[in-house]
Every structure is written in C-alpha cells, then in structure tokens.
Structure 1
Amino acid sequence: MKKVFLTIFISGIAIASFAQTKKPIAKKTVAPTKKAVAPVNLKSALDSVSYAFGSSIGSSLKTTGLSTMNYEVLLKGLKDAFTGNKLILDQQQAQQCISEALSGANKSKFTGNITEGKTFLEQNKKRAGVKTTESGLQYEVLTQGNGAKPTAVTDSVLVHYKGTLLSGKQFDSSYDRGEPITLTLNQVIKGWTEGLQLMNTGSKYKLFVPYNLAYGERGYGPDIPPYSTLIFDIELLKINGK
C-alpha cells in the first residue's frame, strides 16, 4: 500500500514539474450548463391551488418593481408562516425590510423624474428673481402684496392656484373651476406650508417645489407621478379671521 501511495505521489510531482516547463495553453471557457428544471405536474386539487397561490403572490410582487427574489428563502418564509414555525424576522423587522425594498425598487423605477427635477432646480435657481430657501423650495414673486402674512401652520387661508408638472402639463387649477379654495396651512404639502408663510396677502408667487416637499415617492393620483418636482402659481387672497 505504501509503495502504491509513493508511486502516485512521485508521479504527481513529475506531472506538476512537466506542466511548469510547458507554455500555458489558453483554455476555452465553457459556460456552465443550466440545471434542468423538472416540469411541475398538477396531479391534485391541492397541487393546483398551491400553484395558483404561488403564481398570484409572484404576480403581485412583480408589480412592485422588484426584479428578483431569493426564491428558496421566499418559500422558507412562506412555509414557516403557514406551518407556525418560529419566524427568523419578527413583524417589525419584516415590515422594515419590505418597506426598504419597495422604496428602493420604486426609486429606481422613477430615476428619470428625480434627475429631471434636480437638473431643473439647479438651472432654475440661477435665474434672476428666483430665491431658494434652506429647505430647497424655490419661489419667484409675480405680484407683491402689502397685507398680513400667515404666521402659523394652523392659519386658514383663501387662495387661487394653478399646478403644473415640469413638462407644462396642468394637473389642477382653481382658476379653471372659477372659485378659490379655503385651506389650512398644516393640511397641505410642505412646499405650500412654507411658501404661503412667505407671502403677504394680495401677493402672487410662483413656487418651484422639489418632490420631497411635494408628494414624495408616492406621487398623487394618475396625474402626479412619484418623485415629481412641481410648479405652482399661487395667489394669497385672504387670511381667514384676520
């Protein structure tokens, strides 16, 4: 047995030494063959309903913008929850993971809107007459009034306004409806809350609102996509009660 081992050992050294003296030969890279996936046969009602639930969950996940999942771990989580096994993540941890994943997927989906808004605001702040606040809100005075200013986020005001996307598409207008609206400063988007407190009654401003001071990552309805920078012409007509 020792002789056999010694022979193999010496032969291995000889082969290794020979290999080092030869010029390296470029080897053709062979792509790994994909492991064939066995077809699933639905042989029972349980098979059918199991597959139906799986495909339904997959279709729902796909609409979120997620591009892939670790399917084995996904099935592990599904099985643990269904059979009552101890879960690796508690409800709070799971919800945080889901929220972060969906937020990231949504943000990557609307990268164009983010870039468009950032580019616009960088150029817009260079225009004469445009001022930028610490929050990033930009405004331009169209008409300067001389009345009082709203001084608290609980103030109620009467305003006329028109809102557009950066493309110029109008999504809302009180002018078109023929009547101004009454609103409370703490019940509107952050850009309005801040912008209206800069205005004297009788003023008309143009507000350039970054997405984080507008409707953020969710957008609003069918007309305001996520991560949209918005433009408003807004006229402060009255501070109610003053």
Structure 2
Amino acid sequence: MAQNMPQVNAEFGAAPVIEFAEDQAPAGLKVQELVEGDGPMVRRGDTVTVNYHGVVWGNDKPFDSSFDRHQPASFGIGVGQVIKGWDQTVPGHNVGSRLVVSIPPEYGYGAQGVPQAGIGGGDTLVFVIDIISTR
C-alpha cells in the first residue's frame, strides 16, 4: 500500500469510489496498482484505451470521468498527448490493470491549473485508471 494514497475500490470496470484518509497529498508522482491485469504490457508510443475518473485531492466530485460518460478514451501514451503524470505512470502496466495515480501540479496542469474544470494551480490530481487495451 503506497503511503498516503486514497482508498479506491479494486474492481476493474466498476465505477470508482475514492476515499481520502489523509488531508495531505503524498509528495511527488505516485502510482499504485490495485488490480494487476494479465493482458499485454503498455509501452511508450502505444495507443492505449482506458476508462478513467479524475478528482482534485480531497474532493469527491470528479472534474472528468469517462466512467460517468460510459465512453472510454484512447490516446498515445508516453508521447506528450496527455499530462506528464499519465505519460510516466501508465506505461509498464498490463491491460486489465486498475491504477490509482496521485499527480502533483508539476506533472499535471502546472501553476495555471484548469480553472474551468475546478483545478487550481496548486492542486494534486487523483486518477483511477482502468487499462482496457493497447496497440
């Protein structure tokens, strides 16, 4: 169990439920594999399809959730198409894995944040990521 990480239900495909036991986010970029998939490993440069649920540390309302939309997302990983925190944590995990990732601002949206999404410049983000496929 990674220190200070939130509790998340460990059922691949289930709508994420995130519970914060700590007020303070852990320092740095952290990833915890809740479910280890047995599919192919995601590699930098792959196109990955995922379901994800993103919240600001300590909040229970998501700023974005493909689970809520019932529509997975696909994008290149490790090639700068998504925030740095994703590019550095998703590769190396297998299809079928559920991850919880804590992303500090320098690996997320930086000092500017994304005000229209409710993300401040100093906010740590938490994503639950289910890796559906890679190619």
- Report the TM-score range of the alignment, normalised by the length of the smaller protein: 0.7 to 0.9
Residue in structure 2 matched with residue 216 of structure 1 by the alignment: 110
Alignment equivalent of 2:76, drawn from 184, 208, 226? 184
Which amino acid in structure 2 is aligned with residue 214 of structure 1? Answer: G
**In proportion to residue count, which structure has more strand?**
2
Query: What do the CA deviations read for 1:8-64 (whole angstroms, capped 9, x no partner)?
Result: xxxxxxxxxxxxxxxxxxxxxxxxxxxxxxxxxxxxxxxxxxxxxxxxxxxxxxxxx
Q: Check whether the contact 2:57–2:126 (CA below 8 A) recurs between aligned residues.
A: yes
Question: Share of identical aligned residues, percent?
Answer: 33
The CA distance in 1 between the partners of 2:43 and 2:25, in whole Å, is 30
Q: Check whether the contact 1:215–1:227 (CA below 8 A) recurs between aligned residues.
A: no
RMSD of aligned Cα (Å):
1.6
The CA distance in 1 between the partners of 2:83 and 2:69, in whole Å, is 21
The CA distance in 2 between the partners of 1:194 and 1:200, in whole Å, is 14
Query: What do the CA deviations read for 1:113-153 (whole angstroms, capped 9, x no partner)?
Result: xxxxxx4215xxxxxxxxxxxxx31111211101222222x
The higher-RCO structure (CA 8 Å, 6+ apart) is 2
Task: Confirm whether residue 196 of structure 1 aligns to residue 90 of structure 2.
Answer: yes
Residue in structure 1 matched with residue 54 of structure 2 by the alignment: 163
**In proportion to residue count, which structure has more helix?**
1
State the 4+ residue runs in structure 1 displaced beyond 4 angstroms.
none
1:62-101 maps to which residues of 2 (within 5 A)?
A: none
Q: TM-score scaled by structure 2?
A: 0.75
Q: Which runs of 5+ in 1 are unaligned?
A: 1-118, 123-135
Which amino acid in structure 1 is aligned with residue 124 of structure 2? Answer: T
Q: Which runs of 5+ in 2 are unaligned?
A: 1-23
Residue in structure 2 matched with residue 120 of structure 1 by the alignment: 25
* Offset, 1:166: 1.2
Matched pairs, number: 109
